[in-house]
Amino acid sequence: MKVQRQIPQNAFTAGNGFIGRYRRLVKDVVIPYQYGVLEDSIPDTEKSHVIANFINAGKALRGEDTGDGFYGMVFQDSDAAKWIEAAAYSLASYPDKELENTVDRLIDIIADAQDEDGYLNTYFTVKDREKRWTNLLEGHELYCAGHMMEAACAYYEATGKKKLLDVMLKNAEHIYNVFIRDGHKGAPGHPEVELALMKMYRASGDKRCLELARHFIDTRGTDPDYYINEVKSRDWTVWGNNPHDRDYQQSGKPVREQTDATGHAVRAVYLYTGMADLASETGDKELFAACRRLWESITRRRMYVTGGIGSTVIGEAFSVDYDLPSDTAYAETCASIGLMFFASRMLENDVDGEYGDVMERAFYNTVLAGMQLDGKRFFYVNPLEVIPGISGVSPTHRHDLTVRPKWYACACCPPNAARLISSLGKYAYGESGDTAYCHLYADGAVSFENGMKITCETEYPYGFDITYKIESGSGKMAVRIPAWSEKYSVELNGTAADIEVRKGYAYLDAKSGDVVTLRLDGTPYFVHASPKVPELTGRTALCRGPLVYCFEGVDNGGDVISIGIKRNCTAEVSDYDSGLLNGTVKIAVPAVRFGESGGLYCNSPLPETDCTAYAVPYYTWGNRGENRMRVWMTER
């Protein structure tokens, strides 16, 4: 009943454009590097131990000595799951026997760690089997299960191999038995399994997966005291999470009644993704209406211009409306990845360009900024302003680092970015019976179920012409027109196409041999925030296409906070420089430089000198050493 849905992984092959380069970076660098981390073979990096955990869990099940036992976060298993998922997506496009063998070996290890009743979690299997399902608040058992289900579906879709899918179907059956057959109360402290069960349902056709997803979604918040009572009923804790903070895990009221995006941002958007998926799968209009309210709460009032969400470090959480500080921002990489999931599922309920707009805002800015250009270091936190000496140092800015670390003890973001980039085709393209949907502009070849095979060519986000060659087949096309592009045109074989524009999409018919060209506007533009955002009065952000730009010290004589951008100025775009930051375009802006006027506070205006300020895309920041950086510039 979805109005359209993601294409299968194998239906898209990336070309040589921007997306293709990122996908190959993930294949060549990120996936091998991250596997090295998982097996603890990368020096000077936070220990992972995740593969060892699975091996030791297998030993525990066989009654053997578990050696060095369990190490890491309670949700350590999910790092392996996300890596398998990324590897699977990569294998779908870039066959690699050695990688496939590595995945198969890891799957064997994981299968060995599954209890005979289907339970699968190394933390509880190694440490204390008796504590299973007693700590939904913190235990992450359903979270880890969800990630492994996603991995299983991806690997099955990519390779046709069913071993992990079977393991996870058995695991889903176990969870079904515990929560539905045997009536265990409660919903996951960290949502994730809901969206994963929807994938399992589609991969396997097992209706219990759908039922279980609906069960967890509908159970959530019906007993707002569930976690409080759970804490009372057990004598142990992982971190001492406060069960009274119902907003943190979105458990204060039933999800259908929720109106504000609250709490831990990743939990929130994973939950909303599951809700939106279920709503489109079942045609549940009430549930979709709740999703829509939560979507508006995020995108109208609680989202950074970079698509970052969850503005506060305290709880890695959504704050209140319009509280969007640049320098103390949290804006976790994973949260923006989750926002893309949510947007993509919203598109399955309603084809509206705003979902694609947000998806690309999150992708080209926060998600890509989360990874160093060489694929080897990662940001968890994505501030919109960084001042070495304050950022990472001030008590309120400790989380805002100035350069990307190698890996984190809590390593959710790096493999999450890898799996997102590897599966970008699913977010870029969609389909429903007769129509081929182009949500994002991803260079490469796509096959749709309506029989159309299309090749997309574009230098996007650095070129603004997107050319679709219809290689074979015919049918309807729906191409998103981004809201940021004031001017645009759609051509069919070189002349204006006969299009119908509805909700941000151009609809047209095309057939084999046709060339459809979307021409977008590459003129840089200045964004202004609603005057409801206190932080941003009199500030502006420079953008071009989907890219938010930022100003870094290295391009601006060391400092960017003493710069004011001239109002109503014209920004000048430089040529594409393939040698700069893996290939990018700088933008020059007329500006003034404020000088010192003596002392911390002075009673006269600061001296101002005209200057030119230079900006680079936000996703490239922090790749040239420690540096001042600012997105929202003062206007002058």
Q: Which residues participate in catalysis according to the annotation?
A: 316, 412
Contact range with a copy of itself by CB under 8 A, out of 22-30, 115-123, 438-446, 601-609: 601-609
Task: Find the binder of a copy of itself among 73, 279, 303, 456 (CB under 8 A).
Answer: 303
- Asked if residues 479 and 490 have their Cβ atoms less than 8 Å apart, the reply is yes
**Of 201 and 364, which CB lies nearer to a copy of itself in the complex structure?**
364
Distance, C-alpha 205 to centroid of its chain:
27
Binders of a copy of itself among residues 512 to 531 (CB under 8 A) are 525-531
- With beta carbons less than 8 A apart as the criterion, state whether 190 and 140 touch: yes
Radius of gyration of the chain from its Cα atoms, rounded to whole angstroms: 24
* Interface characters, 417-446, with a copy of itself (x: CB under 8 A): ------------------------------
Single out the segment in contact with a copy of itself by CB under 8 A; choices: 38-46, 189-197, 301-309, 454-462. Answer: 301-309
- Closest by CA to 560, choosing from 552, 572, 568, is 552
Contact range with a copy of itself by CB under 8 A, out of 69-77, 314-322, 442-450, 487-495 = 314-322
User: In the Cβ-directed half-sphere of 150, how many Cα atoms lie within 13 Å?
Assistant: 29
Residue identified by tokens 């999703």 is 291
Please tell me whether residue 567 binds a copy of itself under the rule CB under 8 A: yes
Q: Say what angle helices 77-93 and 141-159 make with each other, to 10 degrees.
A: 20
Which of 283, 389, 405, 513 lies at the binding interface for a copy of itself (CB under 8 A)? Answer: 389
CB of residue 594 vs a copy of itself: minimum separation in angstroms?
Answer: 4
CA neighbor of 255 nearest in space, from 266, 237, 241, 268: 268
Amino acid letter at 550? C
- CA distance linking residue 596 with residue 209, whole number of Å: 64
| 299 binding a copy of itself? (CB under 8 A) | yes
> 380 vs 437, which CB is nearer to a copy of itself?
380
Q: Return d(Cα 151, Cα 163) in angstroms, integer.
A: 11
Query: For residue 461, is the peptide bond before it cis, meaning its omega torsion is within 30 degrees of 0?
Result: yes
Among residues 325, 415, 463, 545, which is the contact residue for a copy of itself, using CB under 8 A?
A: 325
Interface with a copy of itself (CB under 8 A), residue from 45, 177, 489, 634: 634
C-alpha–C-alpha distance, residues 537 and 533, integer Å: 7
| Helices 265-282 and 207-219: angle between axes, nearest 10 degrees | 130
Q: What minimum distance in Å lies between the beta carbon of 335 and a copy of itself?
A: 15
Least distance to a copy of itself, CB of residue 539, Å = 8
Tokens 């294409």: give the residue. 7
Residues 298, 245 contacting (CB under 8 angstroms): no
563 near a copy of itself, judged by CB under 8 A:
yes
488 scored as a contact of a copy of itself (CB under 8 A): no
**Contact with a copy of itself (CB under 8 A) among 60, 351, 387, 499:** 387
Rounded Cα–Cα distance for residues 406 and 414 (Å):
9
**Binding of residue 397 to a copy of itself (CB under 8 A):** yes
Contacts of 199 (CB under 8 A, 6+ apart): 149, 150, 153
Q: Does 390 bind a copy of itself (CB under 8 A)?
A: yes
With CA atoms as reference, report the closest residue to 567 among 535, 593, 602, 591: 591
How many residues bind a copy of itself, per CB under 8 A?
Answer: 66
Closer residue to a copy of itself (CB): 153 or 591: 591
Task: Compute the least distance from the CB of residue 503 to a copy of itself, in Å.
Answer: 16
Question: Given candidates 317, 347, 481, 490, which one binds a copy of itself under the rule CB under 8 A?
Answer: 317
Contact 367, 343 (CB under 8 A): no
Instruction: Please state the closest distance from residue 83 (CB atom) to a copy of itself, in A.
Output: 32
Query: Does 385 contact a copy of itself by CB under 8 A?
Result: yes
CB of 65 to a copy of itself, least distance (A): 36
Residues in contact with a copy of itself by CB under 8 A are 299-301, 303, 305, 312-315, 317, 319-323, 325, 327-328, 385, 387, 389-390, 393-397, 484, 486, 525-534, 537-538, 541, 543, 559, 561-564, 567-568, 594-597, 599-606, 630, 634-636
